[in-house]
Chain A
Amino acid sequence: MSSPAEGEESILVLIPAYNEAPRIGAVVAGVRRALTRAEVVVIDDGSSDGTARQARAAGATVLSLPMNLGYGDALRTGYEYALASGAQVVVQLDADGQHDPSSITTLLDAMADRDAGVVIGCRFAGSGDYRMPMLRRIGSRLFSAILRLLTGRRFHDPTSGFQAIRRSALRFFATDNLPGDYPDADFIYFLCRSGIEVVEAPARFEPSPDGKRTLHEGLLSVFYVAKMLLSVFLTMLRPLPDRSAGAEEEE
């Protein structure tokens, strides 16, 4: 890792990974090529296939969880690390190679240009060959419609995990507000309610690797949609977090 030069924002790239040994090395290498000044942190979510070893060999810092906690909790581990390490911007992407690291700069540019707290990489505006599976497409449109109803804003790709987060928004992520399994539309809604500026930027996506089971298939997708609807409903009822909490630390 090369340290950021004076005046440059320190960037930390988080990659939560569970049994991604065959792919993690290439993803870490891709990120290091695209963003030479960033620290790459892989959160090994209790893998049993040597993911941590491969990530270290590729030059990443590895945080190894003693057991599989789930995507959201793995990310939260990374957010806590980022807060402690003083990172100014956090970028998160998936370990399976779906998110093209060359799009990170687009996300960071959008963050600077639009003074956003969170930038979501949007697959529909990208130039990749990505075709979303039908069930996922339906879920994505449903959540997009719900978010539009609740926030008055249009999010084309609310299920995207490819995101850039500014430090001022990061403290909202490293709390119990972050769903432990899959933070998606519910968390975007929470951020909007909390006054965080959330925007989308085009990003290049690749198809899911063959044989990889995702939440957006079969019965799991039904459970996912039901859980997400409930989560959005509960977010509506919850009191807003105190925006001033932790602000002293930022200053």
Chain B
Amino acid sequence: MSFFGLESELILPTFQQQLVAIVFALLLLALIIFLAVRRVFAEAYSMLWLLTGLAILLLSVYPESLAPVSALTGIVEASSILFLFGIVFLLVICLFITAVVSQQKMKITKLSIRLALLENRIEGTMEQCRKST
């Protein structure tokens, strides 16, 4: 097959490999839905993971759809392309989670400062009340 003027020599997975990938994708999707229903993560993150699960399922069912990527990258093994996708995805997720954790830390710091100031103000008010009575 030829894409963008480049030839693709994609080696498709065996039936056994494909079956394992489909079962894995279905289990992953079931786990994601279970966690989302139990509100383990927020809906925006649920959407990200559901899309990932669906993408894995689609690529497992139709591995030939990787042919354009194979032509562009020169990687011939479908499973290698999936590994590459997986690693890139995990790196992006790590980056994203690092950003979220950093933001949460800033928010917790802000809340802690505000709590300390409020406690100080309450104690001051109570002290004044005690003195006046």
Contacts and interface: CB of A to CB of B under 8 A. Distances in A.
Interface of A: 66-67, 176, 179-181, 226-227, 230-231, 234, 237-238
Interface residues of B, number: 14
Interface centre among B43, B47, B50 (most CB of A within 10 A): B43
Nearest to B43: A231
Query: What secondary structure prevails in chain B residues at the interface with A?
Result: helix
B6 interface: no
A180 B110 contact: no
Given A176-B39, A234-B36, A234-B37, A227 B47 contact: yes
Contacts of B129: none
Contact of A67 (B44, B46, B107): B107
Interface centre among A226, A227, A234 (most CB of B within 10 A): A234
B33 interface: yes
B105 interface: no
- Sort A-B residue pairs by CB-CB distance and give the 6 closest, nearest first: A237-B37, A66-B114, A231-B43, A230-B47, A234-B36, A238-B37
A234 B46 CA distance: 10
A180 B43 CA distance: 9
Interface in B30-82: 33, 36-37, 39, 42-44, 46-47, 50
Interface of B: 33, 36-37, 39, 42-44, 46-47, 50, 107, 110-111, 114
B33 A227 contact: no
15 contacts: A66-B110, A66-B114, A67-B107, A67-B111, A176-B39, A179-B43, A180-B42, A181-B43, A227-B47, A230-B36, A230-B43, A234-B33, A234-B36, A234-B43, A238-B37
Contact of B111 (A66, A176, A238): A66
Nearest to A176: B39
B110 A227 contact: no
A67 B110 contact: yes
Nearest to B107: A67
A179 B111 CA distance: 22
A242 B43 CA distance: 22
Given A66-B111, A230-B50, A237 B43 contact: no
B115 to A, nearest CB: 9
